């Protein structure tokens, strides 16, 4: 594939970060270049974690800013104390039934260690490895990692929303 990808809205050179193929929660291959030109929040998630309730706030955040060019990309991972033991179908069902999420959910991946996914290798190189589940990476419209928010940071925190708004208005 050519390194230049078309975003959904306009022709933009795909950033190195987003020039990655992943599988969505249903097993379909997705080239993340399709999100070039949008402000992104990439989050590693887990359904049996003390932070799992953040799914609800992530959905609120998504609903609040989605129409302004904002996307949340959720990547379930079992890398922290086996807090995501479910398979993709079970994860999708859990997220739908318990949180009614509408943002993109991807197949379970490795976010650290020797088998770390290429996407998370790039995120980690830019702003550090995820410390735990629900680490949040804010990505500019140009596909650059702007900021890394710790799992303790609520998706609806003033700091995170201020950073998202700054990127949306840029």
Catalytic residue numbers read: 49
Catalogue the long-range contacts made by 54-57 (C-beta closer than 8 Å, 24 or more residues apart).
Answer: 54/134, 54/154, 54/155, 55/95, 55/98, 55/99, 55/101, 56/99, 57/154, 57/155, 57/156
How crowded is the C-beta side of 27, counted as CA atoms within 13 Å?
Answer: 3
């Amino acid at each position: 594939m050519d390194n230049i990808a078309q975003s959904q809205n306009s022709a933009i050179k795909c950033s190195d970060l987003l020039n990655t193929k992943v599988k969505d929660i249903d097993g379909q291959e997705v080239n993340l270049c399709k999100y070039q030109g949008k402000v992104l929040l990439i989050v590693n998630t887990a359904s049996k974690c003390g932070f799992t309730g953040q799914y609800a706030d992530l959905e609120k955040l998504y609903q609040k800013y989605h129409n302004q060019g904002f996307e949340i990309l959720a990547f379930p991972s079992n890398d922290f104390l086996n807090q995501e033991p479910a398979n993709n179908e079970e994860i999708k069902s859990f997220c739908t039934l318990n949180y009614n999420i509408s943002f993109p959910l991807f197949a379970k991946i490795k976010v650290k260690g020797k088998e770390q996914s290429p996407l998370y290798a790039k995120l980690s190189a830019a702003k550090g490895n995820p410390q735990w589940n629900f680490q949040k990476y804010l990505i500019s419209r140009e596909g650059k990692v702007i900021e890394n928010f710790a799992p303790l940071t609520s998706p609806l925190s003033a700091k995170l929303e201020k950073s998202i708004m700054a990127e949306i208005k840029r």
